[in-house]
Each structure stands twice: as C-alpha cells, then as structure tokens.
Amino acid sequence: QVQLVESGGGLVQPGGSLRLSCAASGSIFSINTMGWYRETPGKQRELVAAITHGGSTNYAESAKGRFTISRDNAKNRVYLQMNSLKPEDTAVYYCNADIVSGVDLMSYDTWGQGTQVTVSS
C-alpha cells in the first residue's frame, strides 16, 4: 500500500506565495512522474505542473513563470512553489504520482487527499 500526503495549503492574499509539499510513503520501489493538479467546483481537474524522475518539467500555461515544481527523489517528495498568486488560483490541489510498488513491482497511479489553496484579500 502506498499513499501520498499533501501539506502547505491555506489562505493567502493576492500576490502572495505558498509552498505545497507532498510525501509518498509505503513500500516504494521507485517513483516515475510526480505532479500537481487542481480542481474547482464545476471544472475538470487540471494539470498544474509535473516532473519526471530525471527532473524534466511540464507546466500549464497559467503556471508558467509563477510556479516551480521540484522533487527530492531520496525523500520521495515533490514540491510546488507558488508565487504571485491570483484569486483564480483558488482550488483544491492534488498531488499525483506514478509509483512502482516494492511489493509487486507494479505501477500505481496514486493521488493524495488534496489541500485547499485560497487566494483572497
């Protein structure tokens, strides 16, 4: 059994910054791509940013220049540094990872429980 646990969400004023963290735990052989998604009521969950095991990154247009994704492979963690936050960034942010289990060496598409980010004055 593997799981992802996010932290770091909260309330921030427009123009402010937040850093989200996500830790993977359980019997892990390796982790391929890790990413952050966000969801707002009435809208489909969307990719914010993703990073491969080797460090290649991919960003949504709305995140480019403001958000930075990074990961610590030794600690099985992924981070999302969010700067210059806007009210439209308000959403529940979910961590996602393609985790290869140490039990059966199968790959599992794993989601965290989500963390609320609210950008408001």
**pLDDT of 74-105, one tens digit each?**
999 999 999 999 999 999 999 999 999 999 99
Contact 49, 60 (CB under 8 A): yes
For the cut 90, the answer to whether the pLDDT of residue 8 exceeds it is yes
CB under 8 Å to 82, separation ≥6 — which residues?
17, 18, 19, 20, 66, 67, 89, 117
Mean pLDDT of all residues belonging to the chain: 97
The span from the CA of 18 to the CA of 95, in Å, is 15
Please report the pLDDT score of residue 1 as a whole number: 84
The residue whose two tokens read 């969950």 is 45
The span from the CA of 14 to the CA of 116, in Å, is 15
